[in-house]
Amino acid sequence: MPSRLAAGRRAGLMIPLFSFPSRQSWGLGEIGDIAPMAAWLASAGQDVLQLLPLNEMAPGQQSPYSAISAMAIDPLYITISHVEEVARAGGDAALSAPRRQRLNAIRAADLDYRRVRELKDEVLRAAFDRFLADEWRRHTRRAEELRVFLAEQAWWLEDYAVFRALHAEAGEQPWTCWPGPLQRREPGAVLEARTRLADEILYRQYLQWVADTQWRDARRSAEPVELIGDLPFVVDVDSADVWARQEEFRLDAAVGVPPDAFSAEGQDWGLPLYRWDVLARTDFRWLRERARRNAQLYAGFRIDHLVGFYRTYARPRDGSPAFFSPAAEPDQTKLGEAVITIFRQSGAHVLAEDLGLVPDFVRASLARMAVPGYRVLRWERDWHAAGQPFRDPARYPAVSLATSGTHDTEPMAVWWEKATADERRAVMEIPKVREVLRERRDAATSAYTDDVRDALLEALFAAGSDLLVLPVGDVFGWCDRINEPGTVGSRNWTYRLPWPSDELDRQPEAVACRDRLRAWSERYQRG
């Protein structure tokens, strides 16, 4: 379906899918919850819902940026009650007493990925067994629909399903620990595995078919709200993609970032390093396929860690000095612009996450190519001018995305409370902020009042940027974080809204927020 993201001024919210479960969900937001969330956004005058990656996460992981596949939707997000085999068997009501008890406990507790995944896998395997008996072996209409899906998506699905079946057989051990012939993908060993694990391979394909079917329904039901996805820079070493394309990656070095505002020592992400020369010889086939897959799923997508596609910061695993790949600026510019062109050729609207230590030549390149980069209010300052004044959002370029923060930043309320008095006073000099607070007779520069929140948000709605996407917590003024960069803990990536997504219209705080957002969208002609 054609995207309207590049046409006119638009606004929306960034909300991870796991963060907005409905009353029917199994412990986290699911594909079926997109419809009620989109309905609430539409009533608030918003026409964009930005999500974090939905790629299948590595076993035991809960970061959406820790992917075992660049293509597969994580079955964790399947809405169980919408699976036809489950519905025919009686839905949630037909669960055994022990499973019903586990489901109730999952719904009542904080998000626990392991428990949700285990219960869903049990129920989905039972559904698959029914599908095999009632549909697949009888060559029914549904069996034919799955065969069509397998044929259409074979370009990524076959390698993924074989890898996933082998991974499960190996007790979820990384492929680098498998027997040598399977590590090396020797044809005879892979063929034998396809025969031995035929049912498990078909199960993995069935899950992707179910997820894809639900996703297509969700996109249709979300209209007129459009979905923006997130294309991670790369995937885990232990992924279907690296296993299938070993020659395209260096495993003796890990991707990271130099020291920046988030980390004084930089970060080592442990992710494999692209062999850019090898990818170029294939005409960047894998990146083209990733763009194609994202365009199937979303109206647009954000290129995560955009600077890495110009120059990748690599840390050799033997401790030798870190380096950039490519090394020379002309080669970096050529590479970055080639990759962006590939992503845009998918037909999806492309956004660039150009935050952190991004060289001037990268931003100049984005401007030449008219690719929207980020304008985060708290970081948009004239750093070399006296007093380091904030840039007026009204002067942000039209080809940009305005926002108050990202999934990695502290919420706007926390930033304000930590800011110095000088920084707060500088914010108050932003014309729209000053105007709104004067109208409300609130000149406070310390406490984060509702008036201060609304003045900052209205300044962003009035921004020159054609696209405005705000983190959901910031439009309410909450202090909860989605992620703490550079840390690994049970609280990261577990944030959920305080109310079910299908009850937002009955929550006074959400209704008030909806009305504010709609008024600002109308006032500043967004949507």
109-139 pLDDT, tens digit per residue, is: 999 999 999 999 999 999 999 999 999 999 9
Q: What is the pLDDT of residue 451?
A: 94
Complete edge-to-edge strand list for the sheet that includes strand 226-231: 349-352, 300-303, 226-231, 48-50, 10-14, 467-471, 400-403, 373-376
Q: Where are the domains of the chain?
A: 10-78+220-523
3-state SS, residue 62: coil
Adjacent-strand bridge partners of 375 = 402
Between 439 and 82, residue with greater pLDDT: 82
Q: What is the pLDDT of residue 485?
A: 84
One DSSP character per residue, 203-258 reads: HHHHHHHHHHHHHHHHHHHHTTSEEEEEE-S---SSSHHHHHTGGGEEEEEEEEE-
Q: What is the pLDDT of residue 424?
A: 94
Who's near 425: CB < 8 A, 6+ residues apart?
Answer: 445
Q: What is the tens place of the pLDDT at every residue in 306-322? A: 999 999 999 999 999 99
Average pLDDT over residues 335-344: 98
Q: What is the tens place of the pLDDT at every residue in 451-476? A: 999 999 999 999 999 999 999 999 99
Q: What is the pLDDT of residue 56?
A: 97
pLDDT higher than 80, residue 4: no
Q: Domain 10-78+220-523 is classified in which CATH homologous superfamily?
A: Glycosidases (3.20.20.80)
Output the six-digit token pair for 181.
């012939």
Q: What is the pLDDT of residue 6?
A: 77
Output the six-digit token pair for 55.
């790629």
Assess contact for 241 and 286: CB atoms under 8 A: yes
Give the gyration radius of the chain's Cα atoms: 24
Q: What is the pLDDT of residue 489?
A: 77
Low-confidence winner among 56-65, 255-264, 329-338 (lowest mean pLDDT): 255-264
Mean pLDDT value across the chain: 95
Cα separation, 273 vs 373, whole angstroms: 24
Q: What is the pLDDT of residue 439?
A: 87
pLDDT band, residue 54 (cuts 50/70/90): very high
Q: Which residue has the tokens 């036809």?
A: 84
Q: What is the tens place of the pLDDT at every residue in 138-193? A: 999 999 999 999 999 999 999 999 999 999 999 999 999 999 999 999 999 999 99
pLDDT band, residue 259 (cuts 50/70/90): confident
pLDDT higher than 90, residue 263: no
Average pLDDT over residues 267-275: 93
Q: What is the pLDDT of residue 258?
A: 87
pLDDT higher than 90, residue 17: yes
pLDDT higher than 70, residue 2: no
Q: What is the pTM assigned to this prediction?
A: 0.95
Q: CA dihedral defined by 231, 234, 406, 45, rounded to 10 degrees?
A: 10
Q: What is the pLDDT of residue 442?
A: 67
Alpha carbon 461 to its chain's center? 23
Q: Give the rounded percent of residues in the chain with a pLDDT score beyond 70.
A: 98
Assess contact for 432 and 395: CB atoms under 8 A: no
